[in-house]
Amino acid sequence: MKKTIVYTLVISLVTSACQQRFLDLAPKAAYTDNTYFQTDAQFKQAVTAAYAPLLDLMNNDFYVSEMRSDNTFYQSALANRGTALVFRENISDFKDGATNSYTAAEWQYLYQIISRANIVIARLKTASGLSAASVNSYDGQSKFLRAFAYFKLVRLFGGVPLFVEPVKDANGAFKPRATVEQVYQQIITDATDAIQELNAPAKFPQTGEATKGSATVLLADVLVTLQRWTEAETLLATLPAMGYGLQADYASAFLPANKNGKESLFEVQYLDGTTTGTTPNPLSFNFLPRSTNTTLLTGVAINNSGAGGVNTPTPDLISAYEPTDKRLDASIGITEGTYNASNLFTFQAVKSVVGYTTPPAGRVAVPYIKKYLHAPLTALTGSADNFPIYRYAEALLLLAEAQNEQGKSPLAALNAVRNRAGLLNAQAADQATMRQVILHERRVELAFENKRWYDLVRSGTAITTLNAFGEKIKAQANYLPADGRIVTPFRLLFPIPAAEVGLNPLLTQNPGY
Amino acid sequence: MRNLFFLLPFKTGVLLGCILICRLSPVNAQPATGVVRGLISDNTGPLPGATVQIVGTQTGGVADANGRYRLTVAPGTYTLAATFVGYARKEVKSVNVSAATERVVDIQLGAGEGNQLQEVTVSYGRQRRREITGSVATLDASLLQDMPVQQFAQQLQGKIAGVSVQQSSGQPGRGVDFRIRGAASFYSDNQPLFVVDGLPLTGSINNINPNEIESFSVLKDASATALYGSRAANGVVLITTKHAKAGDAKIEFNASYGVQKLPDNRAPNVMNAQQYATFMNERYQDIRRYENPSAVTPAEYENPAQYGAGTNWYKLLTRAAPIQNYDLTVQSATEKSSSTALFGYQEQQGVLINTGTRLFSGRLNKDLSIVGGRVKLGFGLAPSYRIDHNNRLATDGVGGLFERIFEASPLKAPLNADGSYNRDTYSPGMVAYINPLAQFNLTNDDYKTTRILGNAFLNYDVVKGLQLKLNAGIDKGNEIRHYYQSGVVSSTVNNPNGTSSATDNGSYTAEGYLDYTLDFRTDHHLNLLAGYSAQKFTQESNTLSGLGFPNDDITYLTAATSVTGSSNYTAYSLLSTLVRLNYSFKERYLLQGAFRRDGSSRFGTNRQYGNFPSLSAGWIVSDEPFMKRFRQINFLKLRTSYGITGNNFFGNYVAQSTTSNYYYNFNNVITQGTTIGNLGNPNLRWERSRQFDLGFELTLLNSRLNLTYDYYFKNTDGLIQSRPLPTSSGFTSILDNVGALAFWGHEITLNTVNVSRPDFRWNSSFNVSFDRNRIKALVDPGYIRRNNTVTSDYFRNQVGHQLGEFYGFVFEGLYRDAADLDASAKYQATATAPNGLSDIGTIKVKDINGDGVIDDVNDRTFIGKPTPTFTGGFSNNLTYKKFDLSISTAFSVGGQLLNAAKWAYQTNLDGSRVPLAAAADRWRSLDSPGSGVYPRTKTGTTGLGRSVNSQWLENASYFTVKNIALGYTFGLSDRSALKGVRLYASVQQALVLTGYSGMNPEINFAGQDATLGLKVDENAYPIPRTFAVGLSATFK
């Protein structure tokens, strides 16, 4: 009897041990959160993953940051009223609602950056075996990315839910909105930490990672937005010592060959090709009229009929360039051709925008963004052009602004930018005039760099400028809806995506939507 | 085989006594010198214990353990009658008995008509029908063989109450879905568990040749399914394959050939060239009249009269397609061994051009009995090979190939003058879709699937009453895909792309259990089953994609200039213990308890084990003495059950947070990033269903009428859903237990023998079920919508509502005139644009919140319900002399269908697609307002027409004659090797009676997954009608 009991016990022990092994299956083609975040290389990869959503972000950012301004509009697509097209137009026309999918995508990718940064920041706190240099680098890059994302969010949507720890379960995913002040506080803390932890570029061209310079200009931009001029000026003054400077000529600042060069403070990194993980930049041909064949401009037979026809430079912007400004020809081109009844363009000629008047009979002329288009492209999927987030030229203009607002002369910084564009020095003027001069300089220098909407809002000129512009552009493009381009104060903030509000009872919608 | 004496101990003595009396006490004064002997059987084998009587005499006897009887009687001509409890009495007339030779008369008793002693397959074993306390429906597959179909699921349509089988797509070899008792789950599978010869399948059911199947048992309630524990919540379908019966030695050959054709009257009537040119011409006239006086009509539309019918893309892309089946079955069996070999070939070409499927299948079943019957062992092996050609392309739904038919202009020719494909077959104003004929013909997507099902068993009688049973099975699959799309039709022109992928998967199941039977104190019968089961599934897959093919000559990736790819591995395991106890008293009072404990690798670490108990009871009322008065009642059983089952059909590692790879570039080099990509949930558990069932089975009028009724109520909680998370969390969803659903319903099955004469027999089978469901609970915000885009947000699953209730605007006609427009709410009206997107002649919808403005968020509501009032089927089988006729029908009454295909795609008045001819009758002016159904074409105002409104709903009722088959059996001489030849002609999908204006009232764009939407028609592959002739021949 005793023997039986012993045998039974032994057998049940053995089988229960087997049982556990039999049922504990971990994936072999991926890590789990228990097995990852052990080595330096794994943390480096986790930081890389936090950069990745920038690529998706740039595919949406120009809708909310550039097309909502007087810099660009869209080409007619009246033959197709599918929501994919209508939603794009709605943002530009100030007719967008909370269900707009491009606003929702902007929101989602910004928060994806934040979430991945949160994972790194939290895991670093308990990591062992990493050098102090690694911890500083990974924490600093993550905090830069988190600050960058929240800075965009707070300007687009106002006070947003503030996630600074990784979400671990369903309950942790539902948060109410923080106040605008709380969000800015977090941005400043993160950017300050990042400046502390990151190094200045070790060499030019840089790697493409965020540096002390990136964090510095980001914080300066935040401080300028908050009108903390003195602090901004102090910060911006540290940049030249890090090796930054202007490229000799404006157009070359955007050449793929000059990626991450001395003018670059931070840019989104693209590569062309078709190998796994390659992310070519599709924007250059999406900014062309919708067509089944863009060869004339891109050098390869790209069909951009789905995503094209957006971010077309406005006549208003073209006329904003001073007569000898080299930046006009570097930024904008004109293409001639014809539209068919399906709103598809046939490219027939490429012309310089400088001095361009009217197209020959039977053709239409469409301006396009030339700055990021370096034909011939090597693949149908896109180019190797990086997308600038901060250039040294902008740092100079931020400095000029901070100086002007403190009653100091902004001319040195301002004229450095103007001279590079082939323009004469700006003359000294009173503070208010100079404020307009700097705003105008930002418009042409930073055209299509997704700055214009924020500049208009923070300068308090968005409503008057854009309403006046709306009247003009509606007269120029008869396909624009008559009730569009009417800007009322509530439109200075975008609606919180309806799906978020619908899902999360703690969230409140912005007024007016 | 079975042993009735063993199972029916209390009767044994009586019966043996009877045999003795019969044999020892001849009542006839004449010397009994003649002998009649033979075998009494039913379609499943011998019937030990059956009674044989010589009519008009006292002579009779009982079949022995092998079903054999032997009677001695004086020479003469007699009528023999065989009876057995639960079977209809059968008489054999004009039996000549002479003194010289023994006369052999084999009698087969009819199957199916309430033969309560017939054993049927149940979970983990077989059980006599009368002893079953759960809700189990069985079907003899031999009655289904005339259908020219390639999936056994199609044979089961309308056959079993509570089992909904719907053909939601006509894709060859695909598109059939099962749903038992309305089973639904938000995330997990809704399909029942399929078990073939005791082996739970882990792969698809598509590779099973219907001809291999002998019978189906469908387990519906919790007590019937509980032994399958965490996989049983959707019901279980047990499939028994063909096994030879003792005495068999035969070869059967079946062949059928048919032609499938789409019913012409259901094809959408799209505008032809002249009609479309006229429509566009008028559209430009209206643009000039109302919007832009300088708009120019494109030259193509200036003179519509110049066009005739133009290109009929529907005709070009569809065809009459052959379907054929050939099967050879070789069977032989002795008392100790039995073998069955089957070979099948099936081929079905699609009614859409350049699609089709072929299946080669085989099965070998071998059973052996040794050591005097104490050891029984056997194995089955079923290899199959399927070639799918283009039938898995996204032909259905949005952007599917079928929709493409309506996206090509009738003004355009499919081919250029030089015979090459014209890529751009759109007319001015249409979206630039690509020539669908070229898409169909220049896309190649082949899947080759090899599958091996194998099982082996060993049963060992340890001591009397105790049996050890061991089962092992494998389900091995391998699939390779070769995809290539020519640059002529690639979305970017001249950018051919190819994919090569392969999947290797396999599972094994190993089970051991003890089966103990005990009879005590005469009336008590006990059966105990206890066992252990382990199952593991693994799958490895890889996929390679190539770009940069120089031309279409070589379509393999060797010709690609760039290739990218990935590979993957996944696995799950299941470890279970199970116990079942059956107890019966006087064979009249039945009790069953079952329990299974499942451990699953899929569940969260905190919830790895689940317990699944069930209890059921039966009472055979008709055996009570007080029932003797009711002589018309042959059999009456009441039964009830309650139990808990689970659903674990979801992804393998979803409970764990896993990493994913994301790419970025540093230093101009692709850099791999890796971080948490899936938010795990360690508390994730299986969905739990608690089901109650109450039913009865009644047999009347000498077993000619059989009625089965069941009421069920099922509460499913812990519903798993890929729960949307605010994207501000950085994740879009988490797999979570989010809510509860209730299902309830009534099921009625009525089988009748209407006429039973030797030369004319007519059986009917009718079933109907009333299934209801309601969402009882959901996490915040209490509903799940289909997606965030209003135009395709077809339905909403919301607490207090049915699954899949349609959600949208309420149609109120068109704005009649300025006064009507003035007085009504308008779409997206603002202070600066008081008419918003509305105008006279555009769609008017109800202002639900009464704020004077129509908007997407506040003015949509629940507008209809997809759930039918009742569904069912009615089948009739008639034999007259050598003719036989069977008619099967299926019906569904009540409920609505959302015809998205018609309104969102086929009547798009922007002119971006070719509309239905009916849309010519649209609003054009106050004087020409049209029928009031189709709005005006004003630019920008047609947007609302793409959002769901109540105009899209139609009555979903239908009555379908699924199959009509007429056969003739040739009489052949006994000496011929050819024992039987039957010829038949059959029509599948013979007739569809419905008020629905679309192609297929059974359609569902998401199969039968209630959580992805029910009864939504989004351009599915239509179901063809099939005319077939067939032959079956038996050689002995």
| pLDDT (tens digit per residue) in B451-485 | 999 999 999 998 888 999 999 999 999 999 999 99
Reported confidence tier of residue A386, pLDDT bands at 50, 70, 90: very high
B-chain residues within 8 Å CB-CB of A33?
Answer: 656-659, 676, 680
The two structure tokens encoding residue B432: 């630039």
Contact B673 A48 (CB under 8 A): yes
Reported confidence tier of residue B7, pLDDT bands at 50, 70, 90: very low
| A315-318 long-range contacts, CB within 8 A, separation 24+ | A315/A367, A315/A473, A315/A476, A316/A70, A316/A469, A316/A472, A316/A473, A317/A70, A317/A71, A317/A72, A317/A443, A317/A444, A317/A447, A318/A353, A318/A367
**Distance between CA B168 and CA B1016 in Å, rounded?**
10
Q: What is the mean pLDDT of chain B?
A: 84
Please check the confidence at residue B75 and state whether its pLDDT lies above 80: yes
Q: Where is pLDDT greater, at B186 or B552?
A: B552
pLDDT at A13: 44
Q: Are B771 and B745 in contact (CB under 8 A)?
A: yes
Give me the torsion for CA of B996, B997, B998, B1001, rounded to 10°: 10
pLDDT at A268: 97
Cα maximum dimension of chain A = 107
Reported confidence tier of residue A237, pLDDT bands at 50, 70, 90: very high
A111 touches chain B (CB under 8 A): yes
For residue B675, give how far its alpha carbon lies from the nearest alpha carbon of chain A (Å).
5
Mean of pLDDT values over B71-96: 79
Please check the confidence at residue B433 and state whether its pLDDT lies above 70: yes
The two structure tokens encoding residue B726: 């605010």
Residues 928-967 of B with CB under 8 A from A: 939-940, 942-943, 946
A-chain residues within 8 Å CB-CB of B670?
Answer: 271, 275-278
Rounded to two decimals, the pTM is 0.78
Nearest to A81 among B493, B736, B943 (CB): B943
**Distance between CA A150 and CA A138 in Å, rounded?**
18
H or E segment at B914?
none
pLDDT at B210: 83
The single-letter DSSP state of residue A496 is P
Reported confidence tier of residue A408, pLDDT bands at 50, 70, 90: very high
Mean of pLDDT values over B514-534: 90
| Percent of chain B predicted with pLDDT > 70 | 91
pLDDT at B109: 76
| Percent of chain B predicted with pLDDT > 90 | 37
Please check the confidence at residue B96 and state whether its pLDDT lies above 90: no
Nearest to A163 among B493, B568, B729 (CB): B729
Reported confidence tier of residue B85, pLDDT bands at 50, 70, 90: low
Lowest-pLDDT range, A210-224, A343-357, A384-398, B682-696? B682-696
* Burial environment of residue B795 by CB neighbours within 10 A (0 to 12, 13 to 18, 19 or more): buried
Contact A98 B857 (CB under 8 A): yes
pLDDT at A410: 96
Mean of pLDDT values over B654-683: 90
Please check the confidence at residue B21 and state whether its pLDDT lies above 50: no
Reported confidence tier of residue B313, pLDDT bands at 50, 70, 90: very high
Q: Which residue of A has its CA nearest to B783?
A: A503
A338 touches chain B (CB under 8 A): no
B486 touches chain A (CB under 8 A): no
Residue A353's nearest CA partner among A315, A311, A298 is A315
What is the per-residue pLDDT across A74-121, written as a single tens digit (0 to 9) for each?
A: 999 887 777 788 899 999 999 998 989 999 999 999 999 999 999 999
Q: Where is pLDDT greater, at A288 or B902?
A: A288
A79 touches chain B (CB under 8 A): yes
Mean of pLDDT values over B801-822: 91
Reported confidence tier of residue A487, pLDDT bands at 50, 70, 90: very high
Residue B520 pairs in a beta bridge with B524
H or E segment at B5?
helix B4-7
The two structure tokens encoding residue A297: 């401009």
Please check the confidence at residue B177 and state whether its pLDDT lies above 60: yes
The two structure tokens encoding residue B603: 């569940």
Residue B323's nearest CA partner among B1035, B1036, B1023 is B1023
Please check the confidence at residue A276 and state whether its pLDDT lies above 80: no
For residue B656, give how far its alpha carbon lies from the nearest alpha carbon of chain A (Å).
7
Reported confidence tier of residue B793, pLDDT bands at 50, 70, 90: confident
pLDDT at A226: 97
A122 touches chain B (CB under 8 A): no
Lowest-pLDDT range, B206-215, B551-560, B878-887? B206-215
Q: Which amino acid makes up residue B558? A: T
Please check the confidence at residue B633 and state whether its pLDDT lies above 50: yes
Residue A423's nearest CA partner among A400, A401, A440 is A440
Please check the confidence at residue B15 and state whether its pLDDT lies above 50: no
Residues 428-467 of A with CB under 8 A from B: none
Mean of pLDDT values over B389-416: 79
The two structure tokens encoding residue A371: 């700055």
The DSSP-derived string for B360-384 is EEEEEEEEEEETTTTEEEEEEEEEE
Reported confidence tier of residue B16, pLDDT bands at 50, 70, 90: very low
Reported confidence tier of residue B31, pLDDT bands at 50, 70, 90: low
Q: Within 13 A of B936's CA, how many CA atoms are on the CB side?
A: 29
The single-letter DSSP state of residue B414 is S
What is the per-residue pLDDT across A189-203, written as a single tens digit (0 to 9) for each?
A: 999 999 999 999 999
A41 touches chain B (CB under 8 A): no
| CB pairs A-B closer than 8 Å | 279
Q: Which amino acid makes up residue B616? A: S
A-chain residues within 8 Å CB-CB of B779?
Answer: 170
Mutate to test the interface with B, among A274, A385, A509 (most CBs of B within 10 A): A274
Please check the confidence at residue A42 and state whether its pLDDT lies above 70: yes
pLDDT at B516: 92
**Distance between CA A395 and CA B854 in Å, rounded?**
47
Reported confidence tier of residue B3, pLDDT bands at 50, 70, 90: very low
Mean of pLDDT values over A255-273: 94
pLDDT at B29: 45
Phi, psi of A454 (to 5 degrees): -65, -40
Reported confidence tier of residue B292, pLDDT bands at 50, 70, 90: confident
Mean of pLDDT values over A480-506: 91
Count H helices and E strands in chain B, helices first: 10, 53
What is the per-residue pLDDT across B909-937, written as a single tens digit (0 to 9) for each?
A: 888 889 999 999 999 999 988 888 999 98
ipTM topping 0.90:
yes
Residue B93's nearest CA partner among B59, B56, B39 is B56
H or E segment at A195?
helix A180-197
The two structure tokens encoding residue B144: 């289904």
Contact A498 B681 (CB under 8 A): no
Q: Which residue of B has its CA nearest to A173?
A: B729
